[in-house]
Amino acid sequence: MFVEIVFVGLPIDRDEVEEAVEAAFELDGEVTGAGSGMGRCHLDLEIVEDSDTAAALERLRAVLSDLGVAECATLNVSE
């Protein structure tokens, strides 16, 4: 599964978010890309095929919520 996490108005440094996401998906995924420009930034997250999709997205949302950035994030999910 591929998840593009798009942020608009991110109140903290993108690297901080990237580190937290990488730690949460250490065993079953990895951040494969990132970028920023035009007031937006994004992280690309690849999650291994055999993972429970719903559980992985729930974990990602929890990480974003804990960081206080869930409100400015949009998840674009591709199976």
Q: Is the model's pLDDT at 4 over the cut of 90?
A: yes
Q: Which residues contact 76 (CB under 8 A, 6 or more apart)?
A: 3, 4, 5, 6
pTM of the model: 0.93
Q: Is the model's pLDDT at 79 over the cut of 90?
A: no
Instruction: Look at residue 19 in the predicted model and tell me its pLDDT.
Output: 97
Q: Which residues contact 17 (CB under 8 A, 6 or more apart)?
A: 5, 7, 10, 43, 64, 67, 69
Instruction: Look at residue 18 in the predicted model and tell me its pLDDT.
Output: 97
Instruction: Look at residue 61 in the predicted model and tell me its pLDDT.
Output: 98
